[in-house]
Structure 1
Amino acid sequence: MTDEQLLRYSRHILLEEIGVEGQERIAASHALVIGAGGLGSPVALYLGTAGVGCITLVDNDTVDLTNLQRQVAHNMARVGAPKAESAREGVLAINPEVQVQPVIARADEALLGELVPQADVVIDCCDNFATRQAVNAACVKHRRPLVAGAAIRFDGQLSVYDMRDAASPCYACVFPPTDDFEETRCATMGVFAPLVGIIGTMQAAEALKVLAGVGTSLVGRLQMLDARTMEWTEMKVSRDAGCPVCRHRPAAPGAPA
């Protein structure tokens, strides 16, 4: 690491759990962020400030005035610009030494099949159930850890699904793709602005822990926040042996296949 890098990341390096080696792992890593909106904004900014070497941002939308209530990676000057490119500018304004690759496209099966194998961690910040399922399927197929978050109205949720861990459930174990799911969008239901910052920042924290190899992740635990009362609820979640997405991967030692 250069003297400038040692200074820039000194507060991470001072942490015994991270140190120089952990910071070097972060710098050598590649994060794939699906969505550059309310959740993706704090995720991208914090991964960038932390020095993640390469960040790929996928989003097919453009910045709108209504986004600026909560999507902190964007600003008035970039209204009308592609969100992936706008978020890239926001990250580089803070840390110009990281590589940020904007991908202006919808995260469909083909694109995910290309991008997920290149990543060390995938952070799902999208706003629809179908894309979440597609992201999860790609992470299962390519055995990549997935940090998934969601926020609507005053309600947020967060978990980690790590396909390198045979005991970990996948997203579909917890939210089956066959469920009769009623889609809700911020555009019609609204969202409390700081909520996406809280959940997105926690997604960034979980992703950095995965990349640096520190702490204990949220694998097997689904955290839910009611921002009306600022109360957290945690639910234990386990792998579904009959899950149509991940049932063919190896089972945990001692667990039924």
Structure 2
Amino acid sequence: MAAPDYSERFGRNIGILTSEEQEQLRKSCVAVAGLGGIGGAALLCLARMGVGRFHLADLDHFDVANLNRQVGANIHTFGRPKVDVMKEQILAINPEIEVKTFTEGVQKHNVAAFVSGVGCVVDSIEYFTLSARELLHHEARKQKIPAVFAAPLGFSAVFLSVSPEGMSFHDYFDINDELDPFEKMLRFTVGLSPKALHLKYMEFKKERLVEIETGPSLALSVNLGAALIGAEVICHLTKRRRPQTLPQYVQIDLLTQKHVRKKLLWGNRGFLQKLKIFYARKKYADFKQLFLKFIN
């Protein structure tokens, strides 16, 4: 049996997307950094939307701890590189997809090539790996490429989109090279979700965060974040609507049924955000050295 052609694979998109938009997606390239939770789900979403080319970066392997939320994780993929598994999955959807892989993840020596020639960058790098995230956003801005980011928080997902012409990732979070990794992570966490809809029902025990060296997450919030990324990437690539970029942020909580979309005009430089950062710094100060062991 002959493999279906592109129009057969993605014909059901037409009527929501136009034929011209679908062709634009076919010609587009998206860079996805981090293929675990949101990154893996967003990749599959974009592949099923018909995006024709990808740059994929991840240095990690699947293991049992990934089963609760990562689309590529199952008993048959334990120990396998995430890049290889996710490449196989998108090629099984569309064998015509062109894929370039970066098995060392995002590094100084390869970030320019990773971003080069793409229409949008998806930042789904591990939460506590802020150095690679900074590197990615610096390069995306340098090459004038938009970048999108989402994070699962409880039953919610928060979403940010960065325009190369607008407020930068570093300006929004108020981070710079003079800050130590712990301070950068505090500012990143506080700026990520200014309304913090999830805090009403979540426990962020310092001891637990240090023990597992990451935060808790659910599959449904990962999939929600991936959907938010998918929609905004489509807008960046097809110009269906004007992308909503920093200082605007979005958080949707499926448990409380609340949704917030607001502008944090001064980012973390605003008085209230500075107060939150001060409180967070004081709360986690006694665990700073333990956090520094896995923040990078």
Q: TM-score range by the shorter chain?
A: 0.7 to 0.9
d(CA) in 2 for partners of 1:227, 1:96: 35
d(CA) in 1 for partners of 2:105, 2:14: 37
TM-score by length of 1: 0.82
Cross-structure match for 1:99: 98
Q: Is the 8 A contact 2:156 2:224 kept in 1?
A: no
d(CA) in 1 for partners of 2:113, 2:131: 18
- Seen in structure 2, the aligned counterparts of structure 1 residues 114 and 188 have a Cα distance that, compared at 3 Å, is closer
Which residue of the other structure, out of 201, 214, 232, is the alignment partner of 1:206?
A: 232
Cross-structure match for 2:170: 172
Instruction: Say if 2:263 is the partner of 1:236.
Output: yes
d(CA) in 2 for partners of 1:39, 1:85: 17
Q: Is the 8 A contact 1:116 1:139 kept in 2?
A: yes
**Higher Rg:** 2
- Greater CA drift, 104-113 or 30-39: 104-113
- Greater CA drift, 146-155 or 22-31: 146-155
One-letter code of the match for 1:84? Answer: V
d(CA) in 2 for partners of 1:13, 1:131: 37
d(CA) in 2 for partners of 1:48, 1:32: 12
- Give 1:153 deviation, angstroms: 4.1
1:79-123 C-alpha deviation (Å, 9 max, x unpaired): 100011111112122222212333211312321122212211100
Residues paired across the two proteins, number = 235
d(CA) in 2 for partners of 1:63, 1:46: 20
Instruction: Say if 2:14 is the partner of 1:25.
Output: no
Instruction: Say if 2:195 is the partner of 1:197.
Output: no
One-letter code of the match for 1:27? Answer: R
Secondary structure of the equivalent of 1:139? helix
- In terms of fraction of residues, the more helix-rich structure is 2
- Give 1:154 deviation, angstroms: 4.2
Q: Is the 8 A contact 1:30 1:121 kept in 2?
A: yes
- Equivalences for 1:56-67 in 2 at 5 Å? 56-67=55-66
Q: Is the 8 A contact 1:35 1:125 kept in 2?
A: yes
- Give 1:58 deviation, angstroms: 0.3
One-letter code of the match for 2:249? Answer: L
- Greater CA drift, 150-159 or 96-105: 150-159
d(CA) in 1 for partners of 2:266, 2:215: 31
d(CA) in 2 for partners of 1:69, 1:157: 19
Instruction: Say if 2:139 is the partner of 1:120.
Output: no
d(CA) in 2 for partners of 1:227, 1:176: 29
Secondary structure of the equivalent of 2:60? coil
Computed over aligned residues only, the root mean square deviation of the Cα atoms, in angstroms, reads 2.5
- Give 1:11 deviation, angstroms: 2.6
- Give 1:155 deviation, angstroms: 4.8
Cross-structure match for 1:254: none
Instruction: Say if 2:276 is the partner of 1:217.
Output: no
Uncovered stretches (5+) of structure 2, i.e. residues with no partner: 190-208, 270-296
Cross-structure match for 1:46: 45
Q: Is the 8 A contact 1:64 1:80 kept in 2?
A: yes
1:10-42 C-alpha deviation (Å, 9 max, x unpaired): 232223xx3121111111111000000001111
d(CA) in 1 for partners of 2:19, 2:125: 33
- Give 1:218 deviation, angstroms: 1.9
Q: Is the 8 A contact 2:62 2:72 kept in 1?
A: no
Q: Is the 8 A contact 2:68 2:218 kept in 1?
A: no
1:40-77 C-alpha deviation (Å, 9 max, x unpaired): 11111011111211111100000001102110133321
Cross-structure match for 2:74: 75
- Give 1:227 deviation, angstroms: 4.4
Cross-structure match for 2:197: none
One-letter code of the match for 1:93? Answer: A
